[in-house]
Amino acid sequence: MTPALGIDLARGQVLDALRGSGRFLLVTHEHPDGDALGSLIGLHGVLTALGKDAAMFLAADELPLPSEYRFLALGPTVSEPPADLAERVIVFLDCGNVDRTPSGEARRDGALVLNIDHHHDNTLFGDVDLVVPEASCTAEIVWELMGELGVAPTPEVAEALYVGLVTDTGKFMYENTTPRAHAMAADLIAAGVDVHAVYRHLYEGIPAAKLRLLGRALERMDRYDDGGLTIVVIDGSDFDAAGATEEHTEGIVDHLRAVEGTRVAALARERCEPGGEGRMKVSLRSADGLVDVSAIARAAGGGGHRQAAGFTTEMSADELVAFLREQIDAQS
Ligand code: 5GP
Ligand code: MN
């Protein structure tokens, strides 16, 4: 079967399940970003408009959401799998890998699992896998499903899907910014999105602690191999000094990617949450588009997109630098 037919088949099966079932549990990946939340809230709104019972799962420690996403119309969520889980269709959104969701235990015999995602390295863990790597964001797939289900977006749904689109395309600047991504934007703006208000919520009103952390991080920048690897490692002392937490690291790696000569940008930060001690979370970005950073992340047990990927590791900072230099070299 050609991949295109496979996707059409999966899309048909997803639409049948969304139309035919009454109860759902919607889940997304840990430390949800704009696309995770946007696709979650968007699909929740679509199913609600169809008169369905769709519970959104978010682990208790994910709340409150990072400040930039708090304006979203999240609504009630559950942090434990519901008692009737076995009768619910479970929909995973933006989850390349079932281990990346705190709701992994939500999988139980009897419930149909729909896996809706755009990561090219998705592990295809669903009963139905609607994995569309050409989609700019998971929210784009939800937007298309919404159209096929004949649901018109409320302003809240349009805003949520737009947040997924804006964040995953880097404000319409990354390679995944297709004509379709812009068509989706046009449709959502027509449905009531206040573009500038969303921009302000997402990118302005930055907590001072976040900027202080950025300042410390930039001071820690190291460059190897003529700058080909540009890396920052931050630890608990940086978080303490800035009064910052892990959510404040978002976006730092993008500054590193922008430095001239960089091929791969890396941000490694010590995990602060209980149980995370001694482990580092690493974010990778491909700056020149030639190095596939998802392959590097996979070699370390993580994954992601060719241009943006990540993993968690017990390597020391020195081991991490050696590992990344080797991996970049191996792809050259
Ligand atoms: P970020 O660096 O913004 O946390 O993540 C960038 C992308 O890398 C995410 O969109 C996600 O696809 C992927 N990613 C980050 N961390 C992990 C991880 O630990 N495992 C997997 N499989 N993917 C990750
Ligand atoms: Mn995404």
User: Could you tell which of 305, 307, 315 is best to mutate to test the pocket of ligand 1, judged by most ligand atoms within 8 Å of the CB?
Assistant: 305
From 292, 311, 312, the mutation candidate for ligand 1 (largest count of ligand atoms within 8 A of CB) is 311
Query: Residue 284 C-alpha to ligand 1 middle, in angstroms?
Result: 8
Q: For 271-300, what is the mean pLDDT?
A: 90
Residue 145 near ligand 1, beta carbon < 6 Å? no
Going by CA atoms, what residue is nearest to atom 16 of ligand 1? 310
- Return the structure tokens found at 1: 């079967």
Q: Cα(194) to centroid of ligand 1, in Å?
A: 28
Nearest CA to ligand 1 atom 6: 309
At residue 135, φ and ψ (nearest 5 deg) are -70, 135
The residue behind tokens 């999966």 is 10
How much distance in Å is there from the Cα of 36 to the middle of ligand 1? 12
Its pTM surpasses 0.95: no
Which pLDDT score is estimated for 108?
A: 57
pLDDT given for residue 111 in this prediction: 78
**pLDDT tens digit string along 52-72?**
999 999 999 999 999 999 999
Residue 99 confidence (pLDDT): 80
What mean pLDDT is predicted for residues 309-315?
96
Cα(122)–Cα(132) distance, rounded to whole angstroms? Answer: 10
For ligand 1, the distance from its centroid to the CA atom of residue 280, given in whole angstroms, is: 13
The mean pLDDT of the chain is 94
pLDDT score for 328: 98
Q: In 3D, which of 133, 169, 131, 151 has the Cα closest to residue 38?
A: 169
Q: Check residue 293 and give its pLDDT.
A: 98
**Protein residue closest via CA to atom 8 of ligand 1:** 309
Ligand 1 pocket member 304 (CB < 6 A):
yes
Residue of 158, 114, 163, 116 whose CA lies nearest to 141: 116
Check: CB of residue 59 under 8 Å from CB of residue 30: yes
Cβ atoms < 10 Å from Cβ of 177: 17
Taking only the tens place, the pLDDT of each residue in 141-165 is: 999 999 999 999 999 999 999 999 9
Asked if residue 230 lies in contact with residue 267, where contact means CB atoms within 8 angstroms, the answer is no
Residue 1 has pLDDT above 50, yes or no: no
Q: Give pLDDT, residue 255.
A: 97
Token pair, residue 309, equals 């990927």
Atom of ligand 1 nearest to the CA of 282: 2
223-255 pLDDT, tens digit per residue, is 999 999 999 999 999 999 999 999 899 999 999
Ramachandran quadrant class, 229 (left: phi over 0; alpha: psi -120 to 50; beta: rest): beta
State if residue 44 touches ligand 1 by the CB under 6 angstroms criterion.
no
Query: What 3 state SS string does 134-195 have?
Result: CCCCHHHHHHHHHHHCCCCCCHHHHHHHHHHHHHHCCCCCCCCCCHHHHHHHHHHHHCCCCH
Query: What gap in Å lies between CA 68 and CA 205, rounded to an integer?
Result: 8
Among all ligands shown, which has an atom nearest to the Cα of 122?
1
Report the pLDDT averaged over residues 192-211.
96
> Is any ligand 1 atom within 6 A of the Cβ of residue 164?
no
Task: With a cut of 80, say whether residue 256 has pLDDT above it.
Answer: yes
Q: Across residues 213-223, what is the average pLDDT?
A: 98
Residues with CB under 5 A from ligand 2 (ion): 35, 94, 137-138, 168
Question: Cα–Cα distances in Å, from 1 out to 4, 8, 116?
Answer: 8, 11, 20
With 90 as the cut, is the pLDDT of residue 288 above it?
A: no
- Ligand 2 centroid–CA 137 distance in Å is 5
Average pLDDT for 93-97: 94
Spacing, Cα 149 to ligand 1 middle (Å): 30
CA distance 270 to 272: 6
Asked whether residue 220 carries a pLDDT value surpassing 60, the answer given is yes
